[in-house]
């Protein structure tokens, strides 16, 4: 079955706001075998909305209208859907009572416009919304002789998402044929999208029943696999079989086989080895530490480190010799290595990492262009350093630098096995 999602709200037609609920809804719908065929975004005008609803009912089986259920004059979804379906609205007594009670409990006066939220389209089931004042509505109805499922759900993410999961999905599952879908997400880094695809296409193309999507972004590649079967076990087995082959082909480039982040994987290995990490960051200015500490529980393995933006601090916190800085410059292999080694010794960590480079847009030269970043990794057995030339703007260069740093550490720990 297929579906159209209409997101309602004039703010969604400005340059500053975007519907993101529909991504969540799409994932949930796909998981029960419903594909999203159209998405429409329409402002708070009743005629526009009623027209969009008619268009949608004319081309898909399921319609989800999101937003426009609040108490203001601009909230017109109930009226517009009723108009498109040529149905009436009735004011629901128990919803009026619930609204009154809600306002009374908060010692607030309920103005008349709030009563709109008690209006229910003829034949609709009211979907309770414990997170807000406007309930949702569910209709199993017909339009021009065809059966249609129509849902009205609130727009704020904190109301939309739980209401859809708790009220709409179970009703959808009752109506549509049962399919079981299994999914896997593999992630790889430091390999380009086209190189990965050249490697993988000959494999996944022999599994036409497994939907394979390659996404590139945030310095990594994601492989999304999905397969539908009559039983969950059969679906999972088929996805796992393809995942295993793709993982083998990608070899050391794969860092996650169940959708984990690179930070999570690095922390997982650190903990497994009871090892600790300290960092010395120059051009990334804290981004590496920030990424690692974004994971809850990172304090078990991450000691901290130093932001050695100035040369003086490279010496003070990492013991980088002044002569080294003078001879090679702050952006150089010897300085990166001295930073990694110094921060490791200074903190007593198992691993020390040092990053120094030219993030741009200024500061580049012919010899050391913007994007040149030295990343060093030190442990008791020695120090290695990579010279990198990252492309992109300042933020992109810094993102790539932290990604490469995390990946160097991951690879080092895998070799230890």
Q: Which is nearer to its own copies, 26 or 257 (CB)?
A: 26
35 binds its own copies (CB under 8 A): yes
Q: Are 385 and 376 in contact (CB under 8 A)?
A: yes
Q: Which is nearer to its own copies, 126 or 169 (CB)?
A: 169
Q: Which of 101, 230, 237, 312 lies at the binding interface for its own copies (CB under 8 A)?
A: 312
Q: Which is nearer to its own copies, 18 or 365 (CB)?
A: 18
Instruction: Please report the beta strands in 208-326, taking only residues with DSSP state E, as ranges in sequence order.
Output: 210-217, 220-229, 254-256, 277-281, 302-307
14 binds its own copies (CB under 8 A): yes
315 binds its own copies (CB under 8 A): no
Q: Are 255 and 201 in contact (CB under 8 A)?
A: no
Name the helix (H) or strand (E) containing 322: helix 322-328
201 binds its own copies (CB under 8 A): no
Shortest gap between Cβ of 22 and its own copies (angstroms)?
Answer: 8
Count of residues near its own copies by CB under 8 A: 75
Shortest gap between Cβ of 150 and its own copies (angstroms)?
Answer: 19
50 binds its own copies (CB under 8 A): no
Pick the piece of the chain touching its own copies (CB under 8 A) from 35-43, 168-176, 195-203, 237-245.
35-43
Residues between 136 and 195 that touch its own copies (CB under 8 A): none
CA-nearest of 331, 276, 327 to 309 is 331
Own/partner contacts of 383-388, CB < 8 Å, gap of 24 or more, are 383/337, 383/340, 383/341, 384/408, 384/412, 385/333, 385/336, 385/337, 385/340, 387/333, 388/357
Residues between 376 and 405 that touch its own copies (CB under 8 A): 394-395, 398
Q: Which of 1, 125, 313, 324 lies at the binding interface for its own copies (CB under 8 A)?
A: 313
Q: Which of 21, 133, 264, 284 lies at the binding interface for its own copies (CB under 8 A)?
A: 284
DSSP string computed for 185-216: EEEE-SS-HHHHHHHHHHHHTT-TTEEEEEEE
Residues between 353 and 372 that touch its own copies (CB under 8 A): 359-362
Q: Which of 129, 298, 378, 403 lies at the binding interface for its own copies (CB under 8 A)?
A: 298
382 Ramachandran zone, left/alpha/beta (phi>0; psi -120 to 50): left
Residues between 221 and 250 that touch its own copies (CB under 8 A): 222, 224
Pick the piece of the chain touching its own copies (CB under 8 A) from 21-29, 107-115, 127-135, 145-153.
21-29
CA-nearest of 104, 141, 102, 142 to 118 is 102
Q: Which of 39, 116, 368, 372 lies at the binding interface for its own copies (CB under 8 A)?
A: 39
> Which pairing describes strands 382-389 and 180-188: parallel, antiparallel, or unpaired?
unpaired
Pick the piece of the chain touching its own copies (CB under 8 A) from 128-136, 252-260, 342-350, 372-380.
342-350
Q: Which is nearer to its own copies, 42 or 235 (CB)?
A: 42
Take residue 64 and report the two structure tokens written for it: 């989800």
CA-nearest of 284, 393, 391, 298 to 331 is 284
Take residue 244 and report the two structure tokens written for it: 């295993």
Pairwise CA distance, residues 322 & 278, whole Å: 22
71 binds its own copies (CB under 8 A): no
Q: Are 378 and 344 in contact (CB under 8 A)?
A: yes
23 binds its own copies (CB under 8 A): yes
């Amino acid at each position: 079955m297929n579906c159209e999602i209409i997101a309602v709200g004039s703010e969604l037609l400005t340059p500053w706001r975007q519907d993101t609920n529909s991504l969540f809804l799409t994932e949930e719908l796909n998981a029960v075998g419903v594909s999203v065929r159209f998405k429409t975004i329409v402002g708070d005008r009743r005629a526009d909305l009623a027209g969009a609803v008619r268009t949608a009912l004319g081309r898909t089986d399921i319609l989800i209208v999101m937003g426009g259920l609040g108490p203001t004059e601009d909230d017109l979804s109930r009226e517009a859907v009723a108009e498109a379906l040529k149905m009436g609205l009735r004011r629901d007594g128990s919803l009026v009572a619930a609204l009154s009670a809600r306002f009374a409990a908060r010692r607030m006066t309920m103005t008349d416009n709030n009563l709109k939220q008690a209006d229910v389209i003829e034949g609709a089931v009211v979907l309770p919304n414990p997170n807000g004042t406007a309930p949702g509505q569910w209709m199993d109805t017909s339009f021009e002789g065809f059966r249609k499922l129509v849902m009205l759900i609130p727009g704020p993410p904190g109301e939309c998402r739980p209401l859809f999961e708790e009220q709409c999905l179970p009703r959808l599952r009752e109506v549509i044929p049962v399919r079981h879908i299994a999914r896997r997400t593999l992630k790889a880094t430091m390999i380009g999208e086209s190189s990965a695809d050249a490697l993988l296409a000959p494999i996944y193309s022999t599994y036409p029943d497994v939907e394979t999507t390659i996404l590139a972004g945030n310095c990594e590649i994601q492989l999304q696999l999905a397969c539908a079967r009559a039983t969950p076990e059969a679906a999972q087995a088929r996805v796992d079989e393809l995942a295993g082959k793709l993982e083998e082909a990608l070899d050391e480039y794969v860092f996650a086989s169940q959708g984990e982040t690179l930070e999570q994987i690095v922390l997982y290995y650190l903990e497994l080895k009871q090892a600790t990490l300290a960092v010395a960051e120059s051009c990334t200015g804290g981004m590496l530490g920030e990424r690692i500490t974004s994971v809850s529980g990172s304090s078990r393995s991450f000691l901290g480190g130093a932001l050695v933006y100035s040369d003086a601090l490279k010496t003070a916190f990492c013991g980088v010799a002044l002569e080294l800085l003078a001879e090679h410059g702050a952006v150089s292999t010897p300085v990166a290595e001295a930073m990694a080694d110094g921060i490791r010794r200074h903190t007593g960590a198992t691993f020390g990492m040092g990053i120094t480079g030219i993030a741009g847009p200024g500061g580049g030269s012919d010899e050391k262009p913007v994007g040149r970043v030295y990343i060093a990794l030190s442990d008791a057995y020695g120090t290695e350093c990579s010279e990198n030339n990252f492309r992109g703007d300042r933020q992109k260069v810094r993102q790539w630098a932290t990604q490469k740093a995390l990946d160097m550490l991951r690879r080092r720990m895998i070799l230890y096995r």
